[in-house]
């Protein structure tokens, strides 16, 4: 499999795996970015990443992002569609500062992970109530995991 990446900005760092056992490819901040408390910022990567079926690009936060900087990705994970690869379709990482201090992201700092996951496109078929299970679990902790 080949992933095509265009450096929209020549300062951009190509995604790379840190170790042979790494599942994700590190994504890097293009430039220094300041994030005030309770502020949402879209951190530029300077990259346009073209994926082709059946592998889609999902972007996840680094495990240290919250622990070390009180930052979260408010969308939990980003999904980059196959057709999000035009000239203006730069991958940007949304980060929200939950802390009380100004956070500085340095240029070339690892900020997220790109994971390529095989996806399927099943046919959606509407069914009637008679085909729905008669038992209901309730969801959201209904199996007794929390007290």
**For the segment 88-125, what is each residue's pLDDT rounded down to a tens digit?**
999 999 999 999 999 999 999 999 999 999 999 999 99
Quick check: 92 and 45 in contact, CB under 8 A?
yes
The pair of structure tokens assigned to 81 is 């569609």
- Is the residue at 145 inside a domain? no
Task: Name residue, tokens 């996951």.
Answer: 117
Confidence of residue 144 (pLDDT cuts 50, 70, 90): low
| Distance between CA atoms of residues 73 and 91, nearest Å | 14
- Is the residue at 136 inside a domain? no
* Sign of the four-CA dihedral 85, 80, 25, 42: positive
For the segment 128-136, the average pLDDT, to the nearest whole number, is 84
Quick check: 44 and 111 in contact, CB under 8 A?
no
- Is the residue at 102 inside a domain? yes
Average pLDDT, the chain: 93
| Distance between CA atoms of residues 145 and 147, nearest Å | 7
- H helices within the chain, ranges in order? 64-69
- Is the residue at 142 inside a domain? no
pTM: 0.87
* pLDDT of 142 higher than 90: no
Percent of the chain with pLDDT over 90: 84
DSSP assignment of 40-72 equals EEEEE--EEEE--TTEEEEEEE-THHHHHH-EE
- Is the residue at 147 inside a domain? no
Q: How many structural domains does the chain have?
A: 1
| Distance between CA atoms of residues 33 and 112, nearest Å | 14
- Is the residue at 93 inside a domain? yes
- Is the residue at 107 inside a domain? yes
- Domain that includes residue 71, residue range: 4-131
- Is the residue at 123 inside a domain? yes
* pLDDT of 14 higher than 90: yes
Q: CATH code at 126?
A: 2.70.40.10
Confidence of residue 25 (pLDDT cuts 50, 70, 90): very high
Candidates 8, 11, 29, 3; CA nearest to 88 is: 8
Q: What is the pLDDT of residue 68?
A: 95
For the segment 40-59, the average pLDDT, to the nearest whole number, is 96
């Amino acid at each position: 499999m080949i992933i095509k990446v265009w450096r929209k900005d020549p300062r951009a760092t190509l995604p790379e795996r840190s170790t042979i056992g790494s599942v994700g490819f590190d994504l890097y901040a293009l430039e220094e970015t300041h994030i005030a408390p309770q502020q949402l910022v879209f951190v530029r990567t300077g990259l346009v990443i073209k994926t082709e079926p059946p592998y889609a690009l999902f972007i996840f936060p680094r495990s240290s992002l919250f622990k070390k900087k009180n930052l979260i990705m408010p969308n939990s994970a980003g999904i980059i569609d196959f057709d999000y690869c035009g000239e203006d379709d730069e991958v940007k990482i949304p980060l929200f500062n939950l802390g009380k201090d100004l956070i500085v992201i340095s240029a070339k700092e690892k900020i997220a992970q790109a994971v390529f996951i095989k996806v399927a496109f099943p046919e959606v078929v509407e069914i009637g109530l008679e085909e729905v299970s008669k038992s209901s679990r309730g969801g959201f902790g209904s199996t007794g995991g929390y007290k």
